[in-house]
Amino acid sequence: MAFSQSPCLYMRIVAVIPAHNEGARIAAAIADARQFVDHVVVVDDGSTDETAVVAKSSGAIVLRHIINRGQGAAIQTGTDYAVKTLVADVIVHFDADGQMRGNEIPAMVAPIASGEADVVLGSRFLGKDALNMPFVRKIMIRLGTLFTILLSGIRVTDTHNGFRALSRKAAAEIRITLDGMAHASEILDLVKTRRLRYVERPVTISYSMDTLHKGQSTVKAMMTAKEIIKKKIVG
């Protein structure tokens, strides 16, 4: 099993990593996560580079989206596979770009293993550092958090943090239908409506020029908000 810290000892932990053109960084992310989980599932979301090949040779199970469907869709694909095929007890959502730290996975899994929570949400604003986070990004995240509180009524400190852990029960209850970045808000919405127990845990997110370039721009943030509002209207 993944690591020897009781009560996680008897739990099957699977990390799901959505990846789109992450050939240069995916190997390091897999190596980092692998030390703390039983399986790493990489969902190659229609990459045009060597992401799938590198992920496979790094020891991950690779699921290929034949066309790009977005991060939310990739996470749901990986979660489906983890629950149904790998019979995971805990599913950890982890990024491909090396922004997250594998050694924080045990702390994310612990509340599920102890029965304290069904969902554990990583937060950049609970004491640990968000390394090199630009001021504008900080403001955008705060605005996004306020937006989610207003729309979903769930009170969390960091709404768009991709580092999260779900129990098997939570993974069955949470069905992501928003394919893009708005899935993070949809997950929180479902946590609230399905009355799942959740806790937040501090996590470290490191930003580099590369990851900042790939991350959420202001325009992308606006598109994400549009996607969430559209979902509320269309259903």
Partner 1 sequence: MVFKIFLIVFSLYAIARARRQYHRREASWYWAVVWSFMWLFVIAVALMPQVTDVVANAVGVGRGADLFVYLAVIFLLYATYRSMVHQQKMSEDITELVRKIAVDRPERS
Which residues contact partner 1 by CB under 8 A?
43, 52, 56-59, 61-67, 69, 73, 76-77, 80-81, 84-85, 177, 179, 230-231, 233-235
Least distance to partner 1, CB of residue 118, Å: 23
CA distances from 74 to 17, 42, 146, 180, 192 (A): 8, 9, 26, 9, 22
Nearest approach, Cβ of 85 to partner 1 (angstroms)? 7
Name the minimum Å distance from CB 223 to partner 1.
14
CA distances from 120 to 34, 116, 186 (A): 19, 10, 15
Nearer of residues 8 and 174 to partner 1, judged by Cβ: 174
Report the residue number, 209 or 234, with the smaller CB distance to partner 1.
234
Shortest CB 73 distance to partner 1, Å: 5
Residue whose CB is less far from partner 1, 37 or 73: 73
The residue (of 57 and 132) whose beta carbon lies closer to partner 1 is: 57
In this complex, which beta carbon is closest to partner 1, that of residue 37 or of residue 63? 63
From the CB of 183, what's the least distance to partner 1, in Å?
11
Beta carbon of residue 82, minimum distance to partner 1 (angstroms, whole number)? 10
DSSP labels, the chain: ---S-TTGGG--EEEEEEESS-TTTHHHHHHHHHTTSSEEEEEEES-SSSHHHHHHHTT-EEEEESS---HHHHHHHHHHHHHHTS--SEEEE--SSS-S-GGGHHHHHHHHHTTS-SEEEEETTSSS-EET--HHHHHHHHHHHHHHHHHH----S-TT---EEEEHHHHHH------STTHHHHHHHHHHHTT--EEEEE--EE--HHHHHHS--HHHHHHHHHHHHHHHHH-
123/224 with CB nearer partner 1: 224
